[in-house]
């Protein structure tokens, strides 16, 4: 059963927040949907958020509603992890609740609930198709930081499902950065070969070019740029694989939502050209 938490009118459409009992994560999950004006069915853009975030961050800060309404795109923002009193957690901000990393965990105690790959890739599209005027045949995906990692990896593992992919300041090589090594070690275990399925650089090397282009915006004042994000690694991997990549580096922009708010229009137009073309 789908519960409506809140709905507000926005730019002629509806910005809603919804709650349901998820099978994949075995807990109650909350997500937001912006439905543009009109009858639909509408193309779908998934937006995956980063560490410590919920669906609310992008919904209230990214500023996608006006242009999504104009372009006729439904924007869906899932949560970043399972949540609740019975869900495993950690004292660190970069592991546990709020830090699901969009993987299917295989290790205890995480495996019982942390199946965010299945949740976003499989369960949510079925839920959206059932309850909203969505055209599930037309899906694209984007995200920020940890969510950018999720968007890139889900797109490369499901290139038929997603027509396009973009990202804001994504973690492109989680097997080579502290955030990813900590999370993957906990969720996926010590066998690093199992980590490859959730590393964008490894996926583009293994699978080659899958999209006509990928759009990434990265701020050069981002304090996570060198140690955690490492966009140059993905740039090299794409070049070697023949995958077209538009990687835009912006002086003065940091890791905050000002980056997304500034360039969200470009990403929406990028996806609209592929969703509605």
Mean pLDDT by 10 residues, the chain (277 residues): 97 98 98 97 98 96 97 98 97 98 98 98 98 98 98 97 98 98 98 97 98 98 98 98 98 97 98 94
Residue-level pLDDT at 206 = 97
Which residues are known catalytic residues? 145, 222, 255
pTM of the complete model: 0.98
Domains of the chain: 2-275 (3.40.50.1820)
* Maximum Cα interatomic distance, the chain, rounded to a whole number of Å: 50
* CA neighbor of 142 nearest in space, from 41, 24, 58, 19: 58
pLDDT of residue 101: 98
pLDDT of residue 1: 87
C-alpha–C-alpha distance, residues 248 and 164, integer Å: 17
Q: What is the per-residue pLDDT for 277? A: 78
Q: Which ranges of the chain would DSSP assign to H, the alpha helix?
A: 55-61, 65-71, 116-118, 124-131, 146-157, 178-188, 200-207, 231-241, 257-275
For the chain, helix, strand, coil in percent to 5 are: 40, 25, 35
How many CB atoms sit inside 10 A of residue 179's CB?
21
44, 121 in Cβ contact below 8 A?
no
Rounded to 10°, the helix 200-207/231-241 angle is: 0
């Amino acid at each position: 059963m789908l519960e409506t938490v809140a709905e507000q009118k926005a730019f002629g459409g509806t910005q809603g927040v919804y709650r349901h009992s998820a099978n994949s994560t075995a807990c109650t999950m909350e997500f937001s949907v912006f439905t543009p004006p009109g009858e639909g069915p509408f193309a779908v853009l998934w937006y995956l958020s980063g560490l410590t975030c919920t669906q609310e961050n992008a919904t209230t800060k990214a500023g996608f509603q006006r242009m999504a309404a104009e372009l006729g795109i439904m924007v869906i923002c899932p949560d970043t992890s399972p949540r609740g009193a019975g869900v495993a957690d950690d004292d660190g901000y970069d592991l546990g609740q709020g830090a699901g990393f969009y993987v299917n965990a295989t290790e205890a105690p995480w495996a019982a609930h942390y199946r965010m790959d299945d949740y976003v890739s499989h369960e949510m599209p079925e839920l959206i198709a059932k309850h909203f005027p969505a055209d599930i045949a037309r899906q694209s995906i984007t995200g920020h930081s940890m969510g950018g990692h999720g968007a890139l990896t889900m797109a490369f593992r499901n290139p038929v499902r997603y027509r396009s992919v973009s990202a804001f300041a994504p973690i492109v090589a989680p097997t080579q950065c502290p955030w990813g090594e900590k999370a993957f070690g906990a969720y996926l275990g010590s066998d690093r070969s199992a980590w490859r399925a959730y590393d964008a650089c490894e996926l583009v090397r293994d699978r080659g070019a899958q999209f006509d282009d990928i759009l990434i915006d990265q701020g050069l004042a981002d304090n996570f740029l060198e140690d955690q994000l490492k966009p140059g690694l993905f740039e090299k991997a794409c070049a070697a694989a023949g995958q077209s990549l538009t990687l835009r580096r912006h002086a003065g922009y940091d890791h905050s939502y000002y980056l997304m708010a500034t360039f969200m229009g470009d990403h929406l137009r990028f996806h609209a050209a592929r969703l509605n073309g």
